[in-house]
Every structure is written in structure tokens, then in C-alpha cells.
Amino acid sequence: MLDIVLYLFIGVVFIQLIYYVLVFGKFSFAKNVTNQPKRIPISVIVCAKNEEENVKKFVPLLLEQNYPDFEVVLIDDSSSDNTLEIFEEFEKKYSNIKLVKVINNEAFWGNKKFALTLGIKAAKNEYLLFTDADCYPTSPNWIKEMSSHFTLKKTIILGYGAYEKINNSFLNKLIRFETALTATQFLGWAKIGKPYMGVGRNLAYKREEFFKVNGFIDHMKLRSGDDDLFVNQAASSENTTVCFSKESFTYSKPKTSFKDWFNQKRRHVSTATYYKAWDRFQLGLFFISQLLFLILAVGLLLLQYQWILVASLIAFRYLFAWISLGYAAGKLNEKDVVIWFPILEISLIVTQLNVFFTNLFSKPVHWK
């Protein structure tokens, strides 16, 4: 019986090796390609609902971008605070702002996808760049960096949306570790030619890709997934590429309480259940292999069964995982979290299990 458990453990380590080296490694060890800047007219699209404080701070940063031809489409999704009034002031001040006002509609109440659809249709340019109302670009070259990856064939660009660093906060390290790990995974698969998701904090695509899949119509009933479900449906090896130059990143303020972050993760996980079958399988296989690695490693060590071999496999797995994630974290400006990798990984696995079981018994709350 213990022989079977040992063979299972060896198989799990092999699966982890495939992910960390062959899949994640496609991003971790990739060289950043510097493309010639384009002069493509870009529409930056921002959807906001009750975000008055954030839009005051961050919309000016979008307007200061170093790019020759762009507009900013501001969508007010029936806000009950002063978001609309602030947008109207920006519209008066800047000629390259287009304001879209979403009126309360009973059929689409609270649905961000409906608001985004109106913004996409209102944009004057064919090439669209998306970010959230609580996000800001890391440099004035954000539009230039993201748009430089558009070609005649590459019409979907996956970028990196990071979270701000908070010193002496374990939760912040956990949030940024999870964000970097997720990015390493979806950027790695995209480079392989199997893109399955993107993040609305930093995502670009040509409008024709939106209409090819009839927009969000196939998942309009779901209040989340305007980014990852769209990419899961529309992206392919032919039309998708990635951008991970450090000037292309966007940053958001992270959650500061575990409860708020936990609820955010519940929404993300509930959306992932609608991915294509292969994508659900590979995501599930990675998580199960992580979980089984921990359980089997602890069990075999406690039983002291073939402990030298088991300890060697554990060390080997952590070595190649650390190297792969270390290179990825360097590209994503998240090097400090890799130091805590074993602790953060265990914490994340426990959290993900909790999210899974909680979602079995109640539905998460979405777009506010």
C-alpha cells in the first residue's frame, strides 16, 4: 500500500515539474520582446460604479499618457455617489474624453457587462485598452507599451495587473503571491498557444474580436467575467499575445482585510467554472497536484517510508518551483514574495479549499 502511495507521490511531483518548468517556464524564462511603438488610435475604456475617490486620483494619470492619439471612454454605471459629476467635470476639461451614462435598467441591473458593452460601442477607435476605475498605470508609457503588441494577426493583448505593496502585511504578500502565480500561469499558457484568461485591469483587444463572439451575450447572466470569460471564449494561439514590460503594468490598491479578499476570490472561482473544459481541467489538475503534494509529502515523512527518496523529491520540487517562480516574479516586480513561497503556497491552498467549499453552499456577491 505504501508503495502505491510513493508511486502516486512521484507522479504528483512529475506533474508539478511539467507545470513549473514546461508551462510556467514559457513565461518565466521568456525574453521580453521590445516592439516598435505604433501610432494606432486607441480608446481607453474605464467603467466605474460608485468610485468617486478613485476616479479623482486615477483618471488624470490616464490623460497624461505619452501617446499621440487616444481617447478615454468613461462609463458611469448608474453610480449613487458623485462619480458621474466628477466624470462630467473631466469631460468639460479634456477634449479626448467621451462620457457614457448608463441609466438604471431593470433587465440589466447591476451588470457591468451591459455598461461595458455601451462603452465599447461608443468608442470611436477600433483598438481598445481596458482598465478598472481603481487602477492606475505604472508609467506614462502604458498605452504605448500595450499597443505596440498589436499586429494584423495579434488582436488580443494580455497584460499584467498588479497590486500595491503594503509593508509588514502577510495578507498583502499572500494577495500579491496569488496574483503573480495566476499571471505566470495564464501568461505561460498564452505563450504556449492556449490562452484561457486575462484581467480587466490590463487588457487590450480590437473591437472586431468583441463582435465576433457577440460580446458578452453568452455569459451576460453572470455578473463577473467581462475579462476572463471573454478571453476564454475569444482568444486563440493566432490572435493573442502577451505584454509584460514593466512600463506596461497597472496597479490597484489591494484588499486590506481577509474577509474582503476572500469574497473577491469567491467571485473569481465561481466565474472559472464556466471556462472551456480543457482550461477547467488544467487548472484543476494543478491545484489537485499542489494539494496532493503537501498531503503525501507530510504523510510519507511522518511514516518515515523511503524518507531519503521522499525528502529528495520534496527538495527537488521546491527547487525547480522556486527557480521558475523566481524568474517570473522578477519580471513582474514581485521578488519579495518568492522568499515566502512555501508558507504562502500552503496559505493559498488552504484559502482556495475554503473558497471551494463555501461556494458550494452560497453564491458570491458580484459587481456592486
State residue 38's pLDDT score. Answer: 86
Contacts of 178 (CB under 8 A, 6+ apart): 265, 348
pLDDT exceeding 70 applies to what percent of the chain? 97
Q: Which tens digits make up the pLDDT trace of 189-206?
A: 999 999 999 999 999 999
pTM: 0.93
- Give me the chain's average pLDDT, please: 93
pLDDT of residue 111: 81
Residues of the chain short of pLDDT 70, as ranges, are 105-110, 364-368
pLDDT at 360: 84
Count of other CB atoms within 10 angstroms of residue 210? 18
Tell whether the torsion through CA atoms of 108, 111, 117 and 123 is positive or negative. positive
For residue 206, the one-letter residue type is K
The pLDDT of residue 367 is 45
Count other C-beta atoms under 10 Å from residue 42's C-beta: 26
- Of 201, 197, 199, 182, nearest to 332 by C-alpha is 182
